[in-house]
């Protein structure tokens, strides 16, 4: 009986030993885990890239908007500047247009056709007794009208007033080196001359009147059309001359010094307008 029991127990033990192994607890597959992590990281990178691109796009839009606003503002400001400059140029040209019409009505010019130029202000001094110097305007009109508000000053109260003054050199013919000069001398005269390598010839003196000394101011107008030349001081015709020696050439400011003292003689030209008349 005992033997039978032992046999049964042995068989049971043997059956347990020979039976299938127990299933271990489930563990995650490493390859699957790596793949999942890779996918998560990839998605994170994609999300980050999308965010960066969205931020960059937003920043680009903001920059583009800012640039557009800036460009629009600059365009508006430029329009205002241009409009202001045009208004100022028109305001400066209007007195010249009125003057041209008056000169035409008074038969000093035969036509009003031409083009307007606003010249830069001029301010120079010269200290060499009885000598003059010139400063070119950059224009070389044949027939023209030029007007300016002229102011003068002298470093001496006893200068050679007849040899002190402000004016214009015009029709400077370079090859021939001949030209015309006109001064408002500080003794109150308009002095016109013709210069050439062969001769210096006076084209006359005409008295305007007493000027303020040692400093003062006046409006000066020079008209040159064909052989006719006219000079007006403060709206008054002072000097007229007909001469045919030179018909075209450079235009310049000129200053005649009547003293060696200090700065000498000073001339200031402001509100300078040049009207180039159309030549026949």
Rounded Cα–Cα distance for residues 105 and 113 (Å): 14
Specify the pLDDT at position 174: 84
Residue 63 scores a pLDDT above 90: no
Residue 175: the pLDDT is 83
Q: How confident is the model at residue 48 (pLDDT cuts 50, 70, 90)?
A: low
pLDDT for res 94: 80
The whole-angstrom separation of Cα 233 and Cα 239 is: 9
3-state DSSP call for residue 135? strand
pLDDT for position 28: 46
Residue 24 in this model has a pLDDT that exceeds 80: no
Q: Is the pLDDT of residue 11 over 60?
A: no
> In the CATH scheme, what is the code of domain 115-277?
2.60.120.560
pLDDT for res 105? 94
What number is the average pLDDT over the span 42-54?
55
Side-chain-side CA neighbours of 122 within 13 Å: the count stands at 27
In Å, how far from its chain's centre is CA 257? Answer: 33
What's the mean pLDDT in 242-261?
96
Residue scoring higher pLDDT (173 or 21): 173
Q: What is the mean pLDDT of the chain?
A: 81
pLDDT of 47 > 50? The answer is yes
**Minimum mean pLDDT range among 28-37, 166-175, 190-199, 269-278:** 28-37
pLDDT of residue 46: 53
CA dihedral 68, 73, 75, 77 (to 10 degrees): -170
Confidence bin at 214 (pLDDT 50/70/90): very high
Contact 186, 161 (CB under 8 A): yes
Return the pLDDT at 10.
41
Pick from 188, 227, 225: nearest CA to 210: 188
Whether residue 197 has pLDDT greater than 60: yes
Strands 216-225 and 131-136: what pairing?
Answer: unpaired
CA–CA separation, 242 vs 207, rounded Å?
A: 18
Q: What is the mean pLDDT of residues 30-57?
A: 53
Domain boundaries, the chain: 49-105, 115-277
Our measurement of the distance from residue 28's CA atom to the centroid of its chain's CA atoms, rounded to an integer in Å, reads: 79
Q: What is the pLDDT of residue 100?
A: 95
Q: Poorest-confidence range of 84-88, 221-225, 227-231? A: 84-88
């Amino acid at each position: 009986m005992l033997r039978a029991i032992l046999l049964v127990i042995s068989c049971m033990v043997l059956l347990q030993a020979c039976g299938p192994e127990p299933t271990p607890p489930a563990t995650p597959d490493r390859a699957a885990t790596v793949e999942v992590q890779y996918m998560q990281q990839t998605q994170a990178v994609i999300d980050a890239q999308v965010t960066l691109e969205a931020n960059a796009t937003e920043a680009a839009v903001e920059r583009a908007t800012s640039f557009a606003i800036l460009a629009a503002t600059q365009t508006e400001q430029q329009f205002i500047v241009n409009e202001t400059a045009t208004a100022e140029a028109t305001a400066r040209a209007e007195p010249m247009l009125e003057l041209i019409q008056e000169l035409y009505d008074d038969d000093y010019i035969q036509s009003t056709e031409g083009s307007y130029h606003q010249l830069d202000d001029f301010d120079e001094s010269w200290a060499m007794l009885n000598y003059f110097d010139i400063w070119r305007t950059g224009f070389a009109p044949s027939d023209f009208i030029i007007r300016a508000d002229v102011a003068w000053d002298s470093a001496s109260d006893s200068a050679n007033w007849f040899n002190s003054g402000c004016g214009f050199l015009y029709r400077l013919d370079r090859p021939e080196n001949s030209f015309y000069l006109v001064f408002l001398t500080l003794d109150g005269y308009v002095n016109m001359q013709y210069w050439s390598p062969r001769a210096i010839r006076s084209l006359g003196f005409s008295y305007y009147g007493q000027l303020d000394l040692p400093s003062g101011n006046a409006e000066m107008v020079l008209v040159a059309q064909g052989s006719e030349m006219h000079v007006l001081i403060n709206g008054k015709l002072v000097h007229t001359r007909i001469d045919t020696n030179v018909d075209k050439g450079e235009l310049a400011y000129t200053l005649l010094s009547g003293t060696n003292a200090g700065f000498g003689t000073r001339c200031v030209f402001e509100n300078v307008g040049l009207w180039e008349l159309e030549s026949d």
